Structure 1
Amino acid sequence: MVRTILVTAFDAFGGEDINPSLEIARRLPHNIGDTHIITSEIPTEFALAAKVARQNIDKHMPDAVVCLGQAGGRHAITPERVAINLIDAPIADNAGALLVDAPINPAGPTAYFATLPVKSMVQAIRAHNIPAELSTTAGTFVCNFLMYSVLDYLASSDLDILAGFIHVPYIPEQHQQPAVPLDDLVAGITAALGALIADEPDEPTGDSLLGNLH
């Protein structure tokens, strides 16, 4: 039973003044039925992102963690299916760190599957006439870093907590294209959370790593 969901969202990065993921998190309902929604802002910094997420997990011990982030250029809400053990940053993070061709955890598995019901989430978003697609690449910047780090932390700590990542497109206020109205993104993420509450995960849980993919 999912009674508490921790939703994380990033601050603005890459010269932007807005990160739609944070604007969504600020507008989410505090409760969906009997499930409590907790939100947390995550710095777009390799040195801090995972640390802040771990602190929030330890503090709240939620039943699920849903990380949100911006994916400029995408036209739909895209739940991510997999995180890979790689940092290959196209730009510096907000602390000025530019990491290239580096593992997230040198001792960790090659990749982790999300343990959220990602296909059900996509269907729930589409049911509200909001564009949604399942994604198999979370990139190699701080979004993928956070998704991998959270799943790695939960696996290594033997915590029975569902987790994954959802990318969202630009909003019109950013004057970038393609863009989706913020109200639609809020409704879409709320629908995705509703699917999480109502559904069982349809991805591998527990030993959710992909293993060595060479």
Structure 2
Amino acid sequence: MRILIYGFGPYRQFRDNVTKHVLRALPARRGLKKIVFPVRFHWAQFIAAVEQHQPDIVLGLGQCGRGRLLRVETRAVNARRQRKTEKPKSIVRNKEAQLPTTLRPALGRSGRRSRFAGDYVCNFSMYVMLDLIRKKRLSTRYGFVHIPHDYDAKKAARVLNAAMVVWERGEKRAR
């Protein structure tokens, strides 16, 4: 099974991004590719990663400014804005207002579901990835988890690693 997990670099007032540390703390495993993207509204970086690695599963990680639990995002919204004062714009014109994720990691007591990933780069990456998977009719499953900026990266890595074990077991049963 090929799994692509990505996070982001620093942005706005955050000089560091917890997702980078979570990726570093995840143990190496066969078929796992970890990428840290710059915080930019560029389609190409997300599409190139999927086309190059052809993953069975893509999991995006984003940093959230508040909260105490991991948030499993359940949908991406076709809206983005670079500044809070700016009116939201469509990510893709004439497309669905929202796209549901196709992978919802079971994070137990460490996480909760969320229906709004914001309108910044995390949501942008979600929408771009889900649109690509749908448009190209890929069998790739996609999910996204927001991690509070002050969350313990090693704890998050343990929770996500346990989720990957579950995905792999499910994949073996499906064969």
TM-score computed with the length of structure 1 as normaliser: 0.74
Structure 1 residue 198, shift from structure 2 partner: 3.2
Structure 1 residue 140, shift from structure 2 partner: 0.8
Distance 2:86 2:157 in 1: 32
Matched, 1:53 2:46: yes
Tell me how many residue pairs correspond in the alignment.
Answer: 171
Structure 1 residue 122, shift from structure 2 partner: 2.5
Maintained 8 Å contact 1:87/1:102: yes
Structure 1 residue 192, shift from structure 2 partner: 2.6
Partner residue, 1:121: 106
Structure 1 residue 154, shift from structure 2 partner: 1.0
Distance 2:47 2:134 in 1: 12
Matched, 1:101 2:88: yes
Maintained 8 Å contact 1:10/1:21: yes
Distance 1:17 1:88 in 2: 20
Distance 2:163 2:146 in 1: 12
User: Structure 1: which 5+ residue stretches go unaligned?
Assistant: 92-97, 172-179, 201-214
- After TM superposition, list the pairs within 5 Å mapping 1:14-163 onto structure 2: 14-31=12-29, 36-46=31-41, 48=42, 50-91=43-84, 100-116=87-103, 118=104, 121-123=106-108, 126=109, 131-163=110-142
Identity in percent = 25
Maintained 8 Å contact 2:57/2:140: yes
Larger strand proportion of the pair:
2
Label 1:15 to 1:149 Cα distance change in 2 as closer, same or farther (>3 A).
same
* Runs of 4+ deviating beyond 4 Å: none
Maintained 8 Å contact 1:115/1:163: yes
Q: Aligned-residue CA RMSD in angstroms?
A: 1.8
Aligned counterpart for 1:12 among listed residues 10, 13, 20: 10
User: Structure 2: which 5+ residue stretches go unaligned?
Assistant: none
Q: Which stretch of structure 1 is more off in the superposition, 11-20 or 190-199?
A: 190-199
Structure 1 residue 20, shift from structure 2 partner: 0.4
Distance 1:56 1:65 in 2: 10
Q: Secondary structure at the match of 1:121?
A: coil
Distance 1:181 1:40 in 2: 19
Structure 1 residue 111, shift from structure 2 partner: 0.8
Partner residue, 1:175: none
Q: What letter corresponds to residue 138 of structure 1 in structure 2?
A: A
Q: Secondary structure at the match of 2:32?
A: strand
Q: Which stretch of structure 1 is more off in the superposition, 135-144 or 81-90?
A: 81-90
